[in-house]
Structure 1
Amino acid sequence: MNETAAIGFDRRRFFKVLGGGVLAVCFAGPLAAQGRRGGGARPMELSAWIHIGEDGIIQVYTGKTEVGQNIRTSLAQAVAEELETPISSIRMVMADTDLVPYDAGTFGSRSTPDMALHLRKAAAAMKGELRKLAAKRWGITTHHVFAEDGRIVYYMPRPGNPPPRRAPLSYAELVKGKEIVAIIREESFLSSAENWKVLGTSVPKVDGPDFVTGKHHYTSDLKLPGMVHGKVLRSPRYGAKLKSLDDSAAKAMQGVEVIRDGDFIGVVAPSPWLAQKALDALKPEWEGGGGPSNSDLFALLKNNTGEGNAAVNEALATAAHRVEQTYTVEYIAHAPLECRSGVAEWKDGKVTAWTGTQRPFGVKDELAQAFSLPPEKVRVIVPDTGSGYGGKHSGEAAVEAARLAKAAGKPVKIVWTREEEFVWAYFRPAGVLEVKAGIDAEGKLVAWDFHNHNSGGAAIDTPYEVTAKNVRSHGSRSPLRQGSYRGLASAANCFARESVMDELAAAARMDPLDFRLKNLTDERLRAVLEAAAARFGWKDRKGHCGIACGIDKGGYLANCVEVDVKGKNVKVVRIVAAFECGAVVNPAHLKSQIEGSIVMGLGGALFESIQFAEGKILNPAFSKYRVPRFSDVPPIDIVLVNRKDLPSAGAGEAPILGIAPAIGSAIFAATGRRLRALPMKL
């Protein structure tokens, strides 16, 4: 135990939390010694525990959150694969800060390449411990001891003689009455994708029936004894300050309590409708506030790019064909089906908050800071959540519920309205993208100058071979609150880059696919381009068609689309998507991720845009903010390029990046107009 003591392992605490049986504590090699806050890019976020109880149930503890991406299922598959046990024996314990080890959050498509891999190592190490236990009981070495279907079996063939009989031992039998810690090391032996039995298969969603029957409880469904409902007073425009407040009418309502803490004003009541009625009865007077409008946006975001790149400028000057264009993307909302909600309860100076978030430990920090509490006095529990898309990194609803609960002395639930979600959540960043590019007489790229203002640097580099390039991301002062969004800036950067590639192809009088392949040496991206084109029938295409491709977070994507344009209306007729992210973990769920990303990308490509002026959001409702509808979604044909020879990458984000430029390419084929602003409108 010297090694575990050196890295701060508290054996008594973990067995108190988890009970008897075998416990595998996972340490991420050098990251473990760095501690939670320092030393590495993602310290300690890979930690996880696996526990086998005496009842045979295998509990897996991780800080990752389930927000509809089915990571609960794929992580369970990872453990079942390496432990060689039925997936029905796996119970995932996720995102409860009192029970699970620290995790930085569920974002960046890192759960599959990081956490799944780490859990596989943990399960493999545990399997080794179980084999040792069985071998010791049998008085033999481990050379002929194997794991099989949740049991340890003995097998040693002897020519001409039957093998000695030893009854298989279940994992539960082996761990009974024992407390064993396994140290997880980098040199764990893992099964190859070619031999996977559980991974690589379309295991149904764990607890899937609970979601379709309504048995699953989201945060907004939770009820605690004595719980009341809360609402928060919000200013009518960004930056406005409260000048005065008449709360007499609200206070006169039976069961209503008005809570004031500085500029924070809230009400609590026995029911949601009474809380809303009390909020409406408040008479505040505001002053100040305001801000710019959409018409000012891109001028505000544009920054000076500084000195040009001499090599690029020289290559541009001698290019046979040049393109110099500016592309723009608007702010868009995450628009999750489940709005932000939080339930908070105080007991003995400790606050427990239930909320939907992608960063349970980040919300824990927010609560600790808001109330000046030590970490052990804060607990955050995240029920499986109704989507996040990068928009639920923060814990506003949990903090608001905790403030009201502390003042009221009762548990409080807050559920944001759809309008609050639109106005007070953060947006996908808007951006200005400036591109200069040149090709030689043979259609080869010779110059590439790319600048993104404000929206970010995700997937900003070009995957194409080019002699001279200059690629930069520039920060801006955003007039609206902005933050993470599915794929971050990859959709904006891919839109500008692939649109310019189409413009260059037109200048060279080359087919868009041929032009890309001529300038592309990355074999993985070439493979998905060719797979999408083959399935789509690109060479023999009819109608108005477009193509685009890109790389992000280990995912390789190509889209082919066909559109029908009538007047100002664009209808996407069909979509083919080829996607490769290494070895496929769950084909059915991967296809769902790709489809979801594409449909979400349709919104940003054709419809979605936050409208604002004078400090107000002007379209804070689905009746005014257009998201894709069933009628907008065409047949989507997905080609999975399964690379069993490569590590598995995440797939929650990369598939969104290619749909907008592919549609733009098809619109150009139909109309001869190049649309350079998202959303694209004729």
Structure 2
Amino acid sequence: MRKNKIEKQNFSDLRSPHQMDRRDFLKNLGGGIVITFSISGNSILDGEYLSGFAEEDFNSYLLIREDGRTNCYTGKIEMGQGPITSLPQMLADELDVSLDSVDIIMGDTDICPYDQGTYGSLSTRDFGQRLRAAGAEARGVLLQLAAENLDIPIERLTVENGIVSDINDKSKQVTYAQLTRGKKIVKSLSEKPPLKKPSEFKVMGKSLHHVDAADKVTGKAKYSADIQLPGMLYARILRPPTLTAKLTSLDLSGAETIKGIEIVQEDDLIAVLHEIPDMADIALAKIKAEYETDETGINDENIFEHLVKNGANIREVDQKGSLSEGKELAAHIFEEEYMDGYVAHAPIEPHTATAVMEGDIMTIWASCQTPYPTREEISEELGLPLKNVRLMQIFVGGGFGGKTSNPQAVEAARLAKITGKPVQLVYTREEEFFYDRLRPAAVVKITSGISGSGQITLWDYAVYFAGSRGAAQFYSIPHHKTVSIDGGRGNRVHPFYTGAWRAPAQNTNTFAREQQIDMMAAKAGIDPLEFRLKNLEYERMITVLKTAAKNFGYTP
């Protein structure tokens, strides 16, 4: 569990920004059991250590309250993928409590532990395991308390729905609520607390309705743009037509004629703000700006040639055998190029942020996948101590990797500080597409070969500008080489901003590889599934393919 892996979200406080000192959390607790992770000790993940936390940082996974309910704290955010439901499932099983007794708080940087971001399918397979460990730790504490309370050896105790009882006499029992009442216990997470086996799961592994589904389909769920604060201004920002464009002249006189308009011009930030969004739009349209732009000569017809030509940095991903020998063994050689264009994230909810400065405290509600890194960016940009910046999540209307970058939150915070008023910034649909960090365009070149019996003998694979994830070879090929090529550090090759899009690089590499496999299978006259199984020794992948074929009812 590194510093970059914890987050949280608050659904209740939509209107009243407040700053909770992390030390005050325990002071105001009253009673209950808190499970934290150790600042200096190992995490439950082998080889991973914490760094960068101050001792006063509050790093709680869960709180078992005096009323028996449990608060689950996470830096992860909910954007439709379901951790608002799945994480409480995991905690409920380890604690032996009912699912409806678990409350989850997500994405609030003031009271949730640090997390680098919600991406990479890490909510369940990474944070979920740590949350399970916290639940197991808390259960152990409660069992010890129950053993003392009931004067029964801990080995004779069993737990169900938050009630601890004697295995031999169920009338001897005590509830979690009774055990926590009047107590204030803080315990650090052990390195490897015992977790339940899958055979012991009661809640995990079951398909449940998402707990937020009803609110989303009825419009009750609140998003960052639903935040309404007294005196709030809506912002529109003047943006350049290209990444490298330089502003050469600016005429704001037209915008200044709009009654009630506020204009901000600070360094690279030029914005108009108004209490009515449409008036801000009108004011922006009245600004006259001229730019100097570079003619790159890059267009739809030559973009892929441009990428291959500028591939200066070559990194070997894996290699085995001799390509020349593999070519000699091949009865058929295949040389193909696969090209992927730029792809936008296109979330239903565009990048959005609402910010308010109260005294020296900045509070931001942002539609983002990275509350903590965004908070750090705002702190640095505004020159505020990190503890004076609070970022909160409501719901996020889709991210897909695009909301790991959040310039809108930084811009809204800057404008709120400059104007001294609450500011809301919502990207227009045009901004969402043009200034998005697109999936990078990419080229994959593959030379492969098969023997007369359909055995793959050769695999020469080069991926340009997509990245190496998913490129490493897992088929059983005696002679293969895979390289990943990009422009090198500091060399801007793409004419657009680029970034993570769904599973970065995996989509490009998987498509190219499996398309090539299908092509070879067709030439060999072998069913695509049988061809893959023939060229696999990796047992896990073999199991996946056979299971998928069975569940889909596929027969060769």
TM-score (norm 2): 0.88
- Given that 1:52 and 1:59 are in contact with CA atoms closer than 8 Å, whether structure 2 keeps it comes out as yes
Post-superposition Cα deviations, 1:24-49, rounded to whole Å, max 9, x if no partner, equal 113495259943359xxxxxxx9652
| Alignment root-mean-square deviation, CA | 2.4
- Given that 1:325 and 1:435 are in contact with CA atoms closer than 8 Å, whether structure 2 keeps it comes out as yes
CA shift for structure 1 position 14: 4.3
Confirm or deny that 1:36 pairs with 2:51: yes
CA shift for structure 1 position 252: 2.4
| Alignment partner, residue 420 of structure 2 | 409
- Given that 2:237 and 2:272 are in contact with CA atoms closer than 8 Å, whether structure 1 keeps it comes out as yes
AA at the equivalent of 1:301: L
- SS of 1:472's equivalent? strand
- 1:182 and 1:463 map into 2 onto residues whose CA distance is 43
| Alignment partner, residue 285 of structure 1 | 290
Which of 293, 300, 304 aligns to 2:306? It is 300
| Alignment partner, residue 73 of structure 2 | 61
Confirm or deny that 1:118 pairs with 2:123: no
| Alignment partner, residue 534 of structure 2 | 518
Mapping for residues 325-404 of structure 1, pairs under 5 Å: 325-404=336-415
- Given that 2:315 and 2:485 are in contact with CA atoms closer than 8 Å, whether structure 1 keeps it comes out as no
Q: Report which stretch shifted further, 300-309 or 47-56.
A: 300-309
| Alignment partner, residue 11 of structure 2 | none
CA shift for structure 1 position 537: 5.0
Which of 131, 149, 155 aligns to 2:143? It is 131
| Alignment partner, residue 533 of structure 1 | 549
- SS of 1:238's equivalent? coil
- Given that 2:37 and 2:43 are in contact with CA atoms closer than 8 Å, whether structure 1 keeps it comes out as no
Post-superposition Cα deviations, 1:238-280, rounded to whole Å, max 9, x if no partner, equal 3222222221222222211011002210011011111111111
- 1:493 and 1:307 map into 2 onto residues whose CA distance is 15
AA at the equivalent of 1:501: I
Confirm or deny that 1:91 pairs with 2:103: yes
- 1:445 and 1:76 map into 2 onto residues whose CA distance is 46
CA shift for structure 1 position 133: 1.1
- 1:395 and 1:428 map into 2 onto residues whose CA distance is 16
Post-superposition Cα deviations, 1:303-356, rounded to whole Å, max 9, x if no partner, equal 268799771122213322211211111010011111000001111222111101
Closer, same or farther in 2 for the Cα pair 1:17/1:403, shift >3 Å? farther
Q: Quick one: higher RCO (CA 8 Å, sep 6+), 1 or 2?
A: 2
Which of 20, 25, 32 aligns to 2:31? It is 20
| Alignment partner, residue 91 of structure 2 | 79
Note the residue ranges of structure 1 that are not aligned, 5 or more in a row.
Answer: 1-9, 39-45, 157-162, 541-682
| Alignment partner, residue 333 of structure 2 | 322
- SS of 1:392's equivalent? helix
- 2:324 and 2:391 map into 1 onto residues whose CA distance is 53
- 2:515 and 2:426 map into 1 onto residues whose CA distance is 41
- Given that 2:29 and 2:184 are in contact with CA atoms closer than 8 Å, whether structure 1 keeps it comes out as no
Closer, same or farther in 2 for the Cα pair 1:284/1:134, shift >3 Å? same
- SS of 1:384's equivalent? coil
CA shift for structure 1 position 384: 1.7
Q: Report which stretch shifted further, 433-442 or 330-339.
A: 433-442
Post-superposition Cα deviations, 1:432-491, rounded to whole Å, max 9, x if no partner, equal 101111222221122211111101111112321010211111113322211101111111
- 1:246 and 1:298 map into 2 onto residues whose CA distance is 39
What is the count of residue pairs matched by the alignment? Answer: 518
| Alignment partner, residue 147 of structure 1 | 159
- SS of 1:492's equivalent? helix
AA at the equivalent of 2:277: P
- 2:398 and 2:359 map into 1 onto residues whose CA distance is 33
CA shift for structure 1 position 406: 1.4
AA at the equivalent of 2:461: F
Which of 198, 206, 217 aligns to 2:203? It is 198
Mapping for residues 212-251 of structure 1, pairs under 5 Å: 212-251=217-256
Confirm or deny that 1:445 pairs with 2:453: no
| Alignment partner, residue 495 of structure 1 | 511
- 2:375 and 2:62 map into 1 onto residues whose CA distance is 23
Confirm or deny that 1:271 pairs with 2:271: no
- SS of 2:374's equivalent? helix
AA at the equivalent of 2:104: M
- 2:105 and 2:130 map into 1 onto residues whose CA distance is 16
- Given that 2:315 and 2:483 are in contact with CA atoms closer than 8 Å, whether structure 1 keeps it comes out as no
- Given that 1:36 and 1:102 are in contact with CA atoms closer than 8 Å, whether structure 2 keeps it comes out as no
- SS of 2:291's equivalent? strand
- 2:29 and 2:280 map into 1 onto residues whose CA distance is 40
| Alignment partner, residue 265 of structure 2 | 260
AA at the equivalent of 1:458: R
Confirm or deny that 1:486 pairs with 2:502: yes
- SS of 1:385's equivalent? coil
- 1:164 and 1:295 map into 2 onto residues whose CA distance is 76
- 2:479 and 2:504 map into 1 onto residues whose CA distance is 26
- Given that 1:447 and 1:468 are in contact with CA atoms closer than 8 Å, whether structure 2 keeps it comes out as yes
Post-superposition Cα deviations, 1:116-155, rounded to whole Å, max 9, x if no partner, equal 1111111011011111111112223212122211222222
